[in-house]
Amino acid sequence: MNDALLTTSLGDMPLTARGKVRDLYAVGEELLFIATDRISAFDHVLGSGIPDKGRILTQLSHFWFDLLADTVPNHLLAKPSESLLAKIAPYRAQTDGRSMIVRRAEMFPVECVVRGYISGSGWKDYLATGSVCGIELPQGLRESERLAEPIFTPAAKINTGGHDENISYQTMVETIGAEYAAELKRLTLAIYAKAAAHAASKGLILADTKFEFGLVEGKIVLADEVLTPDSSRYWPAASYAPGGPQPSFDKQYVRDYLESIHWNKQAPAPALPDAVIERTREKYLEAFRLITGRAGIDVSGG
Ligand code: Q0Z
């Protein structure tokens, strides 16, 4: 098996952003989005990567962009020019199967989160206040319970590695304007409905997910990665049991290992044993196979 790709370096290509997992480069007018094999847990990037994770998540994003194409336009560049492809050709070992060439968008400074189930920060806020992002919820909900209707719970992006902050819809309106807020909310709920129905048909619950949108030539596009396990909570429907947290579909072996060694959750994050890496890789592949119906990922191209 090929080793995990942990860091990219593309000569003098300008690095626009480096996230916990993805690296974004400027290539002329366009952007090159590379999903590395880095994995985070408990808010830290771990010392080991998961081989092919970036390919699996990139190809899963592609699947969803295609499935959603009649619901929302996206930031993928339809046909990269020969000159653009020539610029990145020297770096194919770092990009094949794990990169997307995307159009530069003016990003909305809001994470568009949708929850069909009450979990994570939504559960924390509900316990503290009875509501999430100003949306009052019925009393007596159990952790991980299905909501009567999916709710739109926007968050403000916090750049400095911190957690995004849940905000009210009114705050979103004040940040980006009423018309854009309404359209992003509508799109977020429509995308979730379509994606959750597809996931359900494959035996998966899409508990929640988050989208980022931007403007390209004045039109709203779905950007970033979409509906990957890094941006979404997937639960196997067969073992769903409200009344507590659900095991993570993809990262549970990682979390269990990190708990077992009593890591203090301060940098530097530990490396993972080979067995944990291999079992986790299989979970990402299992998610990919279930959702796409394909046997496996492509290792070249993209
Ligand atoms: C996405 C991010 C990543 C770190 C900027 N189409 C676009 N146009 C302009 N900007 C972005 C996009 Cl997707 C954009 N991010 C999030 C991605 C590494 C942060 F790969 N930041």
Ligand 1 contacts CB of residue 33 (under 6 A): yes
Tell me, in angstroms, the distance from the centre of ligand 1 to residue 131's CA: 30
Tell me, in angstroms, the distance from the centre of ligand 1 to residue 160's CA: 15
Phi, psi for residue 143 in degrees, rounded to 5: -55, 135
Mutate to test the pocket of ligand 1, among 13, 21, 24 (most ligand atoms within 8 A of CB): 24
Tell me, in angstroms, the distance from the centre of ligand 1 to residue 95's CA: 16
Ligand 1 contacts CB of residue 75 (under 6 A): yes
Tell me, in angstroms, the distance from the centre of ligand 1 to residue 39's CA: 18
What pTM value is reported for the model? Answer: 0.97
Mutate to test the pocket of ligand 1, among 10, 33, 40, 231 (most ligand atoms within 8 A of CB): 33
pLDDT at res. 162: 75
- Of 9, 4, 7, the closest CA to residue 48 belongs to 4
pLDDT in tens, the chain (302 residues): 579 999 999 999 999 999 999 999 999 999 999 999 999 999 999 999 999 999 999 999 999 999 999 999 999 999 999 999 999 999 999 999 999 999 999 999 999 999 999 999 999 999 999 999 999 999 999 999 999 999 999 999 987 667 899 999 999 999 999 999 999 999 999 999 999 999 999 999 999 999 999 999 999 999 999 999 999 999 999 999 999 999 999 999 999 999 999 999 999 999 999 999 999 999 999 999 999 999 999 998 65
